């Protein structure tokens, strides 16, 4: 078929479908096949609109890609990553540890973490006691309130007391940014990424860790611990619970694996 030359104006829907099958037979991934078919569909859409040619691709849909489950770290791996960030004799490492603690404690995206300001933290009194809250600004400037765990509170307060004042003095126009670089300016996304990569290297987890892995781990561990999926949805800032439900598949996978291993008639 690779050498079969045909007039594009005379190709049928069956011809296009056969070409899709041919691409798959050549070992191309579904995503590569979809990209090729998307180009063909765009070509015929143009011919249809500009030259009135009948579009043979209107009934052809893209192959459905298998849904990839997000990868979460174990609680021990997260703990080791966070603890590795604090280096004796290096004050700036207190900032790095606070970044990692917040990534895991809030499930926030790295862009949301570096966008935090000092004023985004507050202490709220409830009937059950005081709760530390951080206001996170997500996609579309949509704000959400996320409670903080005691480890994150301790790390942030340690950074604010021992490190940030000296950094802020270098740049009076830091405008209240929480995390500052060595010049007193708001920390960049790339620098925050490097903090995570350095921690991964220090703990032998290189290639397994990214800032988003903290978000995946946050959601997975909450659901494993019995949190309601609607609560997790709110904490992650997902507009639809369908997006959050992918994390339940990870938990179901663990249940299935445990059942298969433990049940005598599985």
pTM: 0.71
150 closest CA partner among 130, 165, 164 = 130
CB 159 within 8 A of CB 98: yes
Catalytically annotated residue among 95, 132, 215, 216: 215
Q: How far apart are CA 56 and CA 11, in angstroms?
A: 7
- The answer to whether 139 is a known catalytic residue is yes
Catalytically annotated residue among 95, 97, 186, 238: 238
Q: What is the pLDDT of residue 128?
A: 75
CB 179 within 8 A of CB 189: no
Q: What is the pLDDT of residue 1?
A: 45
In tens digits, the chain (266 residues) has pLDDT values of 445 677 888 888 988 888 888 888 888 888 888 889 899 999 999 999 988 888 999 888 877 765 666 688 999 999 999 999 999 889 999 999 999 999 999 999 999 999 999 999 998 877 777 899 999 998 878 899 999 999 999 999 999 999 999 999 999 887 799 999 999 999 999 999 999 999 999 999 988 898 889 999 999 999 999 999 999 999 999 988 888 888 887 777 766 777 778 777 66
- The answer to whether 215 is a known catalytic residue is yes
Catalytically annotated residue among 41, 97, 109, 221: 109
Cα distances (Å, whole numbers) of residue 185 to 123, 150, 161: 26, 27, 17
- Residues forming beta bridges with residue 258, ordered by sequence position: none
Catalytically annotated residue among 45, 185, 189, 212: 212
Class of domain 75-117+148-257: mainly alpha
Q: What is the pLDDT of residue 62?
A: 78
Catalytically annotated residue among 6, 139, 142, 170: 139
- Residues forming beta bridges with residue 131, ordered by sequence position: 124
């Amino acid at each position: 078929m690779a050498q079969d030359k045909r007039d594009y104006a005379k190709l049928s829907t069956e011809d296009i479908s056969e070409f899709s099958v041919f691409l798959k037979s050549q070992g191309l991934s579904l995503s590569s096949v979809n990209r090729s078919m998307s180009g063909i569909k765009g070509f015929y859409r143009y011919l249809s609109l500009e030259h009135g040619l009948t579009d043979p691709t209107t009934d052809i849909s893209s192959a459905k890609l298998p849904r990839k489950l997000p990868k979460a770290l174990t609680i021990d791996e997260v703990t080791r990553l966070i603890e590795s960030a604090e280096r004796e004799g290096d004050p700036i490492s207190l900032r790095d540890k606070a970044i990692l603690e917040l990534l895991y404690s809030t499930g926030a995206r790295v862009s949301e973490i570096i966008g935090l300001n000092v004023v985004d933290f507050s202490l709220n009194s409830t009937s059950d006691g005081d709760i530390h809250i951080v206001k996170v600004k997500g996609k579309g400037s949509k704000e959400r309130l996320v409670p903080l765990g005691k480890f994150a509170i301790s790390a942030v307060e340690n950074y604010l007391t021992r490190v940030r004042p000296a950094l802020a003095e270098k740049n009076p126009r830091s405008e209240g940014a929480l995390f500052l670089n060595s010049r007193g300016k708001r920390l960049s996304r790339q620098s925050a990424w490097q903090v995570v990569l350095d921690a991964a290297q220090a703990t032998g987890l290189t290639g397994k860790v990214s800032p988003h892995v903290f978000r995946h781990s946050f959601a997975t561990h909450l659901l494993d611990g019995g949190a309601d999926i609607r609560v997790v949805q709110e904490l992650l800032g997902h507009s639809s619970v369908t997006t959050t439900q992918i994390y339940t598949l990870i938990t179901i996978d663990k249940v299935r694996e445990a059942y298969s291993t433990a049940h005598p008639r599985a």
